[in-house]
Amino acid sequence: MTLELCVLLWAAENLDDALTEYEDTVLALVPKHGGRVVSRVRRISDGDGPREVQVIHLPDDAALQAYMSDPERVALADVHRRVVARTEILTVDTIV
């Protein structure tokens, strides 16, 4: 069974573009772990909600853990701490 995730990301203040660049880099690693980025959208208006929302499919929890601990991703931990203010990861099911 495929693991379907909805990832909500809030950028640190004034670092919207840096968040996008960071996510460009780490999401490129998803296929290496058997997954795919199904959709990725960015809020265009000001507000308190997440700046970026992603839907990602991975084969299973082991693939998610392998992605999260990927050495290339871990090497960017300082960047993540600087540009990402908040992250929520939801396990979801597609209904449409």
Residue 96 is assigned to a structural domain of this protein = no
Number of domains into which the chain is organized: 1
Residue 10 is assigned to a structural domain of this protein = yes
Q: What are phi and psi for residue 42, nearest 5 degrees?
A: -130, 130
Predicted TM-score of the model (pTM): 0.92
CATH number for position 72: 3.30.70.100
Query: What is the per-residue pLDDT for 51?
Result: 96
Nearest by Cα to 32 from 77, 67, 2: 67
Residue 43 is assigned to a structural domain of this protein = yes
Residue 66 is assigned to a structural domain of this protein = yes
Determine how many CB atoms are found less than 10 A away from the CB of residue 31. Answer: 11
Q: What is the pLDDT of residues 21-39, one digit of tens each?
A: 999 999 999 999 999 999 9
Residue 59 is assigned to a structural domain of this protein = yes
d(CA 20, CA 41): 10
Residue 80 is assigned to a structural domain of this protein = yes
Q: What is the pLDDT of residues 36-51, one digit of tens each?
A: 999 999 998 888 899 9
Nearest by Cα to 11 from 1, 26, 3, 21: 21
Q: List the structure tokens of 23.
A: 């996510």
Q: Which domain holds residue 18?
A: 3-91
Q: What is the pLDDT of residues 73-83, one digit of tens each?
A: 999 999 999 99
Residue 85 is assigned to a structural domain of this protein = yes
